[in-house]
Structures are given as structure tokens and as C-alpha cells.
Amino acid sequence: DIQMTQSPSSLSASVGDRVTITCRASQGISTYLAWYQQKPGKLPTILIYAAYTLQSGVPSRFSGSGYGTDFTLTISGLQPEDFATYYCQEYKSAPFTFGPGTKVDIK
Amino acid sequence: QVQLVESGGGVVQPGRSLRLSCAASGFIFSDHGMHWLRQAPGKGLEWVALISYEGSSKYYADSVKGRFTISRDNSKNTLYLEMNRLRAEETAVYYCAKVADSSGYSHYDLWGRGTLVSVSS
């Protein structure tokens, strides 16, 4: 099974900051990677799929990059509504593992 | 309206069974792979099971293999999850999610609101 790790597990940032979250797969997954945002008490929402494709309607301050085993989610200019937990997920093969999440909160 | 609505959650004793349903509307259900996922209170997201668009391919997390069964009825636009021999640690909100394509191997572009399963004596 493919294992997914994320770093950091949490971070504190200010509005306007550039934030980078890293996701690593235990084996190569090409670009079969998605990023989801989840706010407390809410459903997860898709931000990025296929490693770098921005979901329609998602602000352009979100971007994704990477291939194989190492991936990055970047938020360029953090906004108040971006404080949330972010998960990566591989979908190359079952069991479609999620990363443990990165909580972004206000500094 | 494009939506998924789960039902069937509740309180169940350890070792007992429960069947979840997920009613789909607003899209061609039979064109899409479907997944079940869960999230324990205060924890992260956990993938549970996948079924392909026509139901011929099914995959399970190791933790539920042999106890949970995913199925679908495309004539009723409904996805199911039969859960047997439930464990206390499986207390969670269970979500159904629609995959963006027919294979099941893609990102989720629609989530249900979830149904809470509480396994407790």
C-alpha cells in the first residue's frame, strides 16, 4: 500500500503570507494526487487534482506542483477564509490513502 | 440539484451490523465510480471502499475487508455500504463521494453531507 505523509502537521500564519504544504508518497504515483480543504464542521472540498490542476471556482492563489513522490500545495497570499485543514490524497491505486492533514491557523 | 444524501447511520452495539445508503440525484449516477469514506471525531479522512460505475470492480481498505460490502443499484441511483461486525473504533461520520470519472480512480467532485455511525455498548 502507498503511504502518504504531510508536513508540517500544523502551522501558524498571517493574512497575506505565502504558505507551502508538502505531501510525500511512499512510492511513485505520477500525478494521481488531489488536495482537499476542510473547515471545522464542514465537508472537504477539492482544491487541486492531478497534482497541479486547479478545480473550477477555486481561487488562483492556490497552486499545486510535483510528480512521482513529492508534491506541494502553495497558498500565495493567505486569506482569512483559508484557515482550515488541508489533506492530500493519492488515487493511483487502492487504498487511496489520505495524508494526515495540515492545520493552518491564525498567527 | 446535484447532490448525494446519506442515510442509515445511528447507534449500534459492537459486533452488530448496519447498512448505509447514499441517494444520488442531478447527475448520471451510472456513469461514475463511487466511494465511501469516513472521519472519526476530531480525526482525519479515511478511505473505506470503491465501486466502479457498473459495479463490477470493488476495493476495500484492509481494516474493513471481509466485514464491509459496497454495492450499488443504478436503477435506483443509490449506493450502499453494508457494515458487519462493527467495532467501537469505527465510530465516525461516513461520507459517500462521487468520482469525477467512470473508473473510480480520480478525485472527488461531490460529497454527501455524511451520516454518523456510533458504535457503542
| Per-residue pLDDT tens over the stretch A21-80 | 999 999 999 999 999 999 999 999 999 999 999 999 999 999 999 999 999 999 999 999
Exposure string of A78-107, with b = 16+ CB inside 10 Å and e = fewer, is beeebbbbbbbbbbbebbbbbbbbbebeee
**CA distance, residue A55 to nearest chain B CA (Å):** 9
How high is the pLDDT of residue B105? Answer: 85
CA distance to partner chain A, nearest, from residue B30 (Å): 20
User: Quick one: pLDDT at residue A107?
Assistant: 84
Residue of B nearest to A56 (CA): B109
What pLDDT score does B1 carry? 94
- Contacting A with CB below 8 Å, chain B residues are 35, 44-47, 50, 59-62, 95, 100, 105-109, 111, 113-114
Q: What is the pLDDT of residues B87-105, one digit of tens each?
A: 999 999 999 999 988 777 8
User: Which of A43, A53, A54 is the best substitution to test chain B (most B C-beta atoms within 10 A)?
Assistant: A43
Classify the C-alpha dihedral B85-B88-B90-B91 as positive or negative: positive
Which tens digits make up the pLDDT trace of B36-62?
Answer: 999 999 999 999 999 999 999 999 999
